[in-house]
């Protein structure tokens, strides 16, 4: 397993600094795992929870915001991530 790190992900930077970190056997699988967890992240995140209705579906008033987040998210994942092997990393808080 490898640890892949997309530093300063634009899709998460609206309210704070954000990174995407995924453990996976390959970078392609890391990207797919990140895509698979994106909606769960948004539903759980404090700045997005109100965008979903009681059934967990995206409210029609926030479709444009969601599409904008997804475009930024995909642009972030296209970037080549850092590969973190057996190392120690330090991540600072918000900007």
Residue 65 lies in a domain: yes
Predicted pLDDT of residue 32 = 97
Predicted pLDDT of residue 80 = 94
Residue 70 lies in a domain: yes
Residue 55 lies in a domain: yes
DSSP state of 56: S
Hey, how many other C-beta atoms are within 10 angstroms of the C-beta on 74?
14
Domain that holds residue 62: 2-81
- Order of strands, edge to edge, in the sheet holding 2-6? 20-24, 2-6, 82-84
Predicted pLDDT of residue 71 = 93
Predicted pLDDT of residue 24 = 94
Q: What share of the chain is helix, strand, coil (3-state, %, to 5)?
A: 45, 15, 40
pTM of this structure: 0.77
Residue 86 lies in a domain: no
Predicted pLDDT of residue 12 = 75
Total number of domains in the chain: 1
Q: What is the rounded (10 degree) CA torsion for 88, 18, 38, 80?
A: -60
Running along the chain, 95 residues long, what does each successive block of 10 average in pLDDT? 84 72 94 93 77 84 89 94 78 59
């Amino acid at each position: 397993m490898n640890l892949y790190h997309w530093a300063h992900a634009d899709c998460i930077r609206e309210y704070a600094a954000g990174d995407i970190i995924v453990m996976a056997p390959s970078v392609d699988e890391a990207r797919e795992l990140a895509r698979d967890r994106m909606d769960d992240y948004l539903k759980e995140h404090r700045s997005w929870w109100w965008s979903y209705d009681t059934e967990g579906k995206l409210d029609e008033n926030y479709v444009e915001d969601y599409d904008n987040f997804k475009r930024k998210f995909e642009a972030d994942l296209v970037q080549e991530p850092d590969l973190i092997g057996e190392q120690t990393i330090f991540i600072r808080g918000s900007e």
